[in-house]
């Protein structure tokens, strides 16, 4: 037996990607504690279904922009764990040659236009990419991931307004994990559902269970069809949750343990695992094989990162872009 709607291989791939994200994050957290990784990590543990469901609905020629909590988005769009781990470890073999770290990982070949340390910073970038696609009459879609907190930024509203006026092929994907740092969403926004905000810009706002990878996939597929056929943008609000702190080291005094536990009962990976077994879309052995192979891939990624050199000091100015004026770079 198999599900009536989806191919087993497709479903197993969704599972593989979600587990890769979870294991990547847990591994990176450990390697940071062990001293391999300097700098901050904002992990997306618990939010795997939004990244994977949304990117599964895109085509290879489509692009995404990401956030400070972006490792999952990168893996979902095809990013390789070894180059990501090497970047986190500040090694020359990483996505940015070891100079960017978690907040700047980018792979244009995969349509990943970059993680972003500026809250809401990726949203206008996706709108710019969508404008280019429309002008060049390319059947491509741009998707911006961002958090609930980002919807209170001016850049969010300006970008959605322009995208609405020009009916650009863009999807605004809000991962509403209920908090911006330590601030609960309801203390920051006067609307109950952030999807309501699309009404101001005259395009649909859709609410989806962000812990249900197939629900996310379906909502994003509809939005991508709309964008590709010239009907303009969609705002998707995926309701989800991060289990860990805003950053590693956050004492999380702003929320109750019971709330975290309640969300763990709706874990996106274990729910989907049960679904695959119920429908016999995969056997217990298939799933264990996937889990084991991901652990091996991550062992390899960590070894690759650890064996790679750090950038030489004399290369500090390479890859730095800015305006030049009288021979000086600003």
Ligand X SMILES: Cc1ncc(C[n+]2csc(CCOP(=O)(O)OP(=O)(O)O)c2C)c(N)n1
User: In the bound complex, what is the minimum distance in angstroms from residue 104's beta carbon to ligand X?
Assistant: 13
Question: Per CB under 6 A, which of residues 28..67 are in contact with ligand X?
Answer: none
Using the contact rule CB under 5 A, the part of the chain among 73-81, 101-109, 139-147, 221-229 near Mg ion is 139-147
User: In the bound complex, what is the minimum distance in angstroms from residue 148's beta carbon to ligand X?
Assistant: 4
Buried b vs exposed e over 97-126: b needs ≥16 C-beta within 10 Å? bbbbbbbbbbbeeebbbbbbbebbbbbbbb
Q: Is 147 in the site for Mg ion (CB under 5 A)?
A: yes
In sequence order, what E strands does 159-297 have? 170-176, 179-180, 183-184, 205-209, 234-239
Site string for Mg ion, 242-261 (x = CB under 5 A): --------------------
Question: Bridge-partner residues for 237, per DSSP?
Answer: 174, 207
* CB contact set of 108 (below 8 Å; sequence gap of 6+): none
Q: DSSP code of 34?
A: T
Q: Is 69 in the site for ligand X (CB under 6 A)?
A: yes
Residue 114 interacts, among Mg ion, ligand X, none and using kind-specific CB cut-offs from 5 to 8 Å, with: none
* CB contact set of 188 (below 8 Å; sequence gap of 6+): 148, 149, 152, 180
Report which of 129, 220, 109, 126 is spatially closest to residue 175, judged by C-alpha positions: 220
- In the set 66, 67, 177, 308, which binds Mg ion (CB under 5 A)? 177
Residue 140 interacts, among Mg ion, ligand X, none and using kind-specific CB cut-offs from 5 to 8 Å, with: none
Q: Is 232 in the site for ligand X (CB under 6 A)?
A: no
- In the set 18, 84, 112, 119, which binds ligand X (CB under 6 A)? 119
Using the contact rule CB under 5 A, the part of the chain among 17-25, 61-69, 146-154, 251-259 near Mg ion is 146-154
Residue 304 interacts, among Mg ion, ligand X, none and using kind-specific CB cut-offs from 5 to 8 Å, with: none
Q: Is 68 in the site for ligand X (CB under 6 A)?
A: yes
For Mg ion, the closer of residues 119 and 287 by Cβ is 119
CA distance 9 to 326: 58
Three-class SS of residue 40?
coil
CA distance 216 to 214: 5
Using the contact rule CB under 6 A, the part of the chain among 159-167, 178-186, 268-276, 283-291 near ligand X is 178-186
Contact 142/62 with Cβ under 8 angstroms? Answer: yes
- DSSP letters of 193-209? SGGGGGGGGTS-EEEEE
For ligand X, the closer of residues 36 and 118 by Cβ is 118
Q: Is 179 in the site for ligand X (CB under 6 A)?
A: yes
Q: Is 237 in the site for Mg ion (CB under 5 A)?
A: no
User: In the bound complex, what is the minimum distance in angstroms from residue 179's beta carbon to ligand X?
Assistant: 6
Q: Is 250 in the site for ligand X (CB under 6 A)?
A: no
CA distance 37 to 83: 13
Token pair for 147: 């958090």
Q: Is 148 in the site for Mg ion (CB under 5 A)?
A: yes
Question: Per CB under 5 A, which of residues 180..219 are in contact with Mg ion?
Answer: 180
User: Which positions touch ligand X (CB under 6 A)?
Assistant: 68-69, 117-119, 146-150, 177, 179-181, 246
């Amino acid at each position: 037996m198999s599900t009536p709607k989806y191919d087993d291989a497709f479903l197993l791939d969704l599972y593989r990607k979600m587990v890769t994200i979870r294991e990547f994050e847990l591994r990176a957290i450990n390697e940071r504690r062990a001293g391999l990784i300097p700098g901050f990590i904002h992990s997306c543990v618990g939010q795997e279904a939004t990244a994977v469901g949304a990117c599964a609905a895109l085509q290879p020629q489509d692009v995404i922009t990401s956030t400070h909590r972006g490792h999952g988005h990168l893996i979902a769009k095809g990013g390789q764990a070894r180059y990501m781990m090497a970047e986190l470890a500040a090694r020359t073999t990483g996505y940015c040659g070891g100079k960017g770290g978690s907040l700047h990982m980018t792979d244009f070949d995969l349509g990943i236009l970059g993680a972003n340390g500026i809250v809401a910073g990726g949203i206008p970038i996706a709108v710019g990419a969508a404008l280019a696609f429309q002008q060049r009459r390319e059947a491509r879609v741009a998707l911006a991931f961002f958090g609930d907190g980002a919807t209170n930024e001016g850049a969010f509203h300006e970008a959605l307004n322009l995208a609405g006026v020009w009916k650009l092929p863009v999807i605004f994907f809000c991962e509403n994990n209920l908090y911006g740092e330590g601030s609960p969403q309801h203390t920051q926004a006067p609307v109950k559902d952030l999807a309501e905000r699309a009404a101001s810009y005259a395009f649909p706002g859709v609410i989806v269970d962000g812990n249900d990878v197939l629900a996310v996939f379906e909502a994003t597929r509809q939005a991508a069809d709309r964008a590709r056929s010239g009907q303009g943008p969609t705002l998707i609000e995926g309701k989800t949750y991060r289990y860990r702190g805003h950053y590693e080291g956050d004492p999380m005094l702003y929320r109750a343990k019971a709330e975290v536990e309640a969300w763990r009962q709706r874990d996106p990976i274990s729910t989907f695992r049960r679904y695959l077994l119920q429908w016999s879309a995969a056997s217990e052995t298939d799933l264990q094989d996937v889990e084991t192979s991901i652990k091996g891939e991550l062992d390899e990624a960590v070894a690759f990162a650890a064996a790679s050199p750090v950038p030489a000091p004399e290369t500090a100015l390479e890859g730095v872009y800015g305006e030049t004026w009288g021979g000086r770079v600003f």
